């Protein structure tokens, strides 16, 4: 229990800098430890600990509420649970949770019959660590070896290991500092090899490297090196496992190389040289390349090219304004195209001998989230799919190609009980201030009015709006803790995501960035106008770039929000984009603009950067989280923001910051440990909105 009686006041240490003739003052710059990524400065650590003590002192009276929320959230999770086994070669693979376990067990069983085999025990690996995250996991093509990687402090630098599955023998091969998949390749007269990428000192994967099993790590071979510091490198296998695919990309440009998987030291074949603004990915079947590219239409097309002339692309499926082609998967006898139409997922089967033959897979609801699951084999007669909606729990299907039939394999079990008929979901379109219709997915109880005494009740609004990441109308058991207390829960599909296609994304980035913030505010006002809630009865949340959104809308429309939760918020946008030594910055310039070289970008970012725009005014109640080891949004961004808010805000509303001293961007690891943070968030919201649990 904390005995803190006053919120900490950070020291102001005069600091300023000048760019493009504009001087910016930053009196809390000292909160960035000069030894980062090691944080050892006494003053910095003392301040973070003081903030944590204040968080604990303010949340301590809410402990019973937090505990109650945690208990009900946990009761909705099936403690002893397993995935549906999936065939891959000679084995069926699945994962399992034991009763009360935070982490998974990875199992397999021979298809021909035999004993279950535990191939990886996350529970054992996580022992003694406050944080544990499995990165990559891959079984060798002969089924005998397992490679995996682990991060045990949240820094997202993973150590890869290899073992013999049958005996459990750990091989001496250990690769620290990876940040990538682990791809098995054949060695000919050598043992198996692993292709991986190392994170360099600035946490950038600028390489693809080959490790022959049994050889010293110092002798690993660099297969590919990326010289552009804004690009990142990743590797995978083609669907038929004949090719090692090496890709390099930033947020809007990509380039792919191909190497025979059985001859990884062969000269890589460039598919097509990078062209600014063109993204593509590639796969191969029977000497024909299939390419998913946005070169002729921003919503992508599917093209083909002969393997002998990989850069000569011919359109197979045209890009259109109406259909946003999000990806494709090749199989021996057919291929699958995944798209979105007005934000709704579509899955279509197509055939090599007759590309005009289209078989859509149809789902029962008007709004849902659906997609391909893990389908590792090349020759298949059924497809594994996942499906959910805001009222329908996650469902695993097999789609049988012969009779076009969906077979339900598993529906998410909610032990404490769930009756979908009690809930209503809608997909609304609310006009933004420029007339653009913004989709909104919303769920609430049908008896919500009764729960709120006939009044317009509370509403929680979630948003992200960046990097072309769509926010799916998916199912959440955690969310029920608000909805069952009379909340409506809404997801604003604002510009900056690609919910409605690539143009939707582009209209929320760089010079159009403020559309994202305006959309969110206008959605809130539209929900008020439609009678869902009222000003001051709206809680909002977002993380990372969604935390930037929280900061911006707090500055612009503080009276709308009754409670704000900002997780690992990207709020010090200008300083971060000016610092090219930070891990992500060069790769982020295509998303936000480069304020170092571009004065207009400098001025625009400064005009909305939440930290720079904190002003003397009243602010709504705010809860902020951070991770000391977070390499994506460094801990000092939320720390500086909270310090400046404490200095300038004119209200007496709650302002609390919790820095997880042993985790990174994703918060606590473990399926139950993470629920503690969700329970704290919801307890804060209920407290601030005056709702008796």
Which residues are designated catalytic? 544, 630, 665
CA distances (Å), origin 448, targets 10, 365, 457, 491, 609: 43, 22, 8, 18, 37
Q: Which helix (H) or strand (E) holds 645?
A: helix 636-648
- Tell me phi and psi for residue 525, to 5 degrees: -65, -35
- Provide the token pair at 116: 């279950």
Residue among 211, 199, 290 at smallest CA distance from 243: 290
Residue among 478, 421, 469 at smallest CA distance from 446: 421
Going by the DSSP 8-state scheme, the letter that residue 604 receives in this structure is H
**Cβ pair 498, 324 in contact under 8 A:** yes
- The CA distance from 330 to 308, in Å, is 19
Helix, strand, coil abundance in the chain, percent, nearest 5: 20, 35, 45
- Provide the token pair at 39: 């944080």
- Provide the token pair at 108: 């397999």
- The CA distance from 665 to 647, in Å, is 26
- Nearest 10 degrees: CA dihedral of 591, 295, 497, 77? -110
Helix count (H) and strand count (E) of the chain?
A: 13, 39
**Cβ pair 232, 248 in contact under 8 A:** yes
- The CA distance from 494 to 490, in Å, is 12
- The CA distance from 151 to 10, in Å, is 32
**Cβ pair 572, 566 in contact under 8 A:** no
**Cβ pair 562, 587 in contact under 8 A:** no
Strand 423-431 with 405-411, pairing: unpaired
- The CA distance from 532 to 538, in Å, is 10
CA distances (Å), origin 387, targets 128, 343, 471, 473, 476: 36, 15, 15, 11, 13
Prior bond of 37 cis (ω within 30°): yes
Going by the DSSP 8-state scheme, the letter that residue 3 receives in this structure is -
Calculate the CA 301 to chain-centre distance: 25
Rg of the chain, C-alpha, whole Å: 26
- Provide the token pair at 277: 């603004």
- The CA distance from 575 to 26, in Å, is 9
CA distances (Å), origin 487, targets 419, 444, 605, 645, 689: 17, 7, 34, 28, 11
Q: Which long-range contacts (CB under 8 A, 24 or more apart) does 686-690 make?
A: 686/65, 686/485, 687/62, 687/65, 688/539, 688/562, 688/563, 688/621, 688/653, 688/654, 689/458, 689/537, 689/539, 689/562, 689/563
- The CA distance from 573 to 452, in Å, is 39
Question: Which residue do the tokens 């490790």 mark?
Answer: 211
Strand 561-567 with 538-543, pairing: parallel
Q: Which long-range contacts (CB under 8 A, 24 or more apart) does 334-340 make?
A: 334/401, 335/285, 335/290, 336/372, 336/383, 337/302, 338/371, 338/372, 340/470, 340/499, 340/500, 340/501
């Amino acid at each position: 229990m904390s005995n803190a009686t006053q919120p900490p006041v950070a020291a102001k240490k005069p600091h300023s800098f000048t760019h493009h003739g504009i001087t910016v003052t930053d009196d809390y710059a000292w909160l960035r430890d000069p030894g980062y990524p090691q944080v050892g400065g006494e003053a910095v650590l003392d301040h973070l600990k003081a903030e944590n003590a204040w968080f604990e002192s303010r949340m301590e009276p809410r402990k019973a509420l937090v505990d109650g929320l945690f208990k009900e959230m946990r009761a909705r999770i099936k403690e002893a649970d397993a995935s549906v086994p999936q065939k891959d070669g000679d084995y069926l693979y699945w994962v399992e949770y034991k009763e009360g376990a935070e982490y998974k067990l990875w199992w397999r069983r021979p298809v021909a019959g035999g004993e279950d085999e535990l191939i990886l025990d996350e529970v054992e690996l996580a022992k003694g660590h406050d944080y544990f995250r499995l990165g990559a996991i891959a079984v060798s093509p002969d089924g005998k070896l397992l490679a995996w990687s682990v991060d045990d402090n949240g820094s997202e630098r993973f150590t890869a290991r290899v073992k013999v599955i049958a005996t459990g023998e750990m091989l001496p091969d250990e690769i620290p500092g990876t940040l990538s998949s682990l791809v098995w390749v054949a060695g000919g007269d050598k043992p198996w090899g692993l292709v991986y990428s190392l994170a360099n000192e600035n946490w950038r994967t600028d390489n693809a490297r080959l490790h022959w099993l049994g050889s010293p790590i110092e002798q690993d071979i660099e297969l590919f090196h990326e010289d552009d510091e804004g690009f990142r490198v990743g590797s995978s296998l083609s669907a038929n496992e004949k090719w090692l695919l090496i890709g390099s990309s930033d947020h809007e440009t990509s380039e792919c190389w191909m190497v025979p998987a059985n001859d990884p030291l062969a000269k890589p074949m460039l598919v097509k040289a990078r062209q600014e603004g063109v993204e593509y990915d590639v796969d191969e079947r029977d000497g024909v390349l299939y390419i998913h590219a946005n070169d002729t239409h921003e919503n992508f097309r599917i093209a083909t090219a002969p393997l002998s002339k990989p850069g000569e692309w011919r359109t197979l499926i045209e890009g259109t304004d109406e259909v946003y082609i999000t990806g494709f998967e090749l199989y021996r006898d057919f291929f699958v195209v995944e798209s979105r139409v007005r934000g709704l997922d579509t899955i279509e089967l197509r055939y090599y001998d007759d590309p005009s033959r289209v078989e859509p897979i149809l789902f029962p609801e008007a709004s849902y989230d659906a997609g391909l699951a893990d389908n590792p084999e090349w020759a298949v007669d059924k497809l594994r799919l996942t499906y959910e909606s805001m009222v329908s729990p996650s469902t695993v299907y097999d789609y049988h190609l012969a009779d076009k039939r969906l077979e339900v394999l598993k529906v998410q079990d909610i032990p404490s009980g769930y009756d979908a008929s009690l809930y209503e979901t809608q997909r609304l379109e609310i006009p933004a201030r420029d007339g653009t219709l913004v989709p909104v997915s919303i769920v609430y109880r049908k008896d919500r009015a009764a729960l709120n005494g006939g009044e317009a009740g509370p509403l929680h609004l979630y948003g992200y709006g960046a990097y072309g990441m769509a926010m799916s109308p998916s199912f959440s058991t955690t969310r029920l803790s608000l909805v069952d207390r009379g909340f409506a829960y809404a997801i604003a599909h604002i510009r900056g995501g690609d919910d409605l296609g690539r143009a939707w994304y582009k209209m929320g980035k760089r010079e159009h960035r403020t559309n994202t913030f305006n959309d969110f505010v206008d959605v809130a006002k539209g929900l008020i106008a439609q009678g869902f809630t009222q000003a001051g009865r709206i809680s909002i949340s977002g993380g990372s770039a969604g935390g930037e959104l929280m900061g911006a809308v707090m500055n612009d429309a503080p009276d709308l929000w009754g409670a704000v939760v900002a997780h690992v918020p990207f709020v010090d946008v200008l300083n971060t984009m000016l610092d090219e030594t930070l891990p992500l910055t060069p790769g982020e310039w295509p998303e936000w603009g480069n304020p170092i070289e571009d004065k207009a970008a400098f001025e625009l970012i400064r005009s909305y950067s939440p930290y720079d725009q904190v002003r003397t005014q009243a602010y709504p109640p705010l809860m902020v989280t951070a991770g000391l080891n977070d390499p994506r949004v460094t801990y000092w961004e939320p720390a500086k923001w909270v310090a400046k808010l404490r200095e300038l805000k004119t209200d007496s509303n709650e302002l609390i910051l919790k820095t997880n001293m042993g985790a990174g961007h994703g918060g606590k690891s473990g399926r139950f440990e993470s629920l503690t943070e969700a329970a704290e968030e919801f307890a804060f919201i209920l407290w601030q909105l005056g709702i008796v649990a």
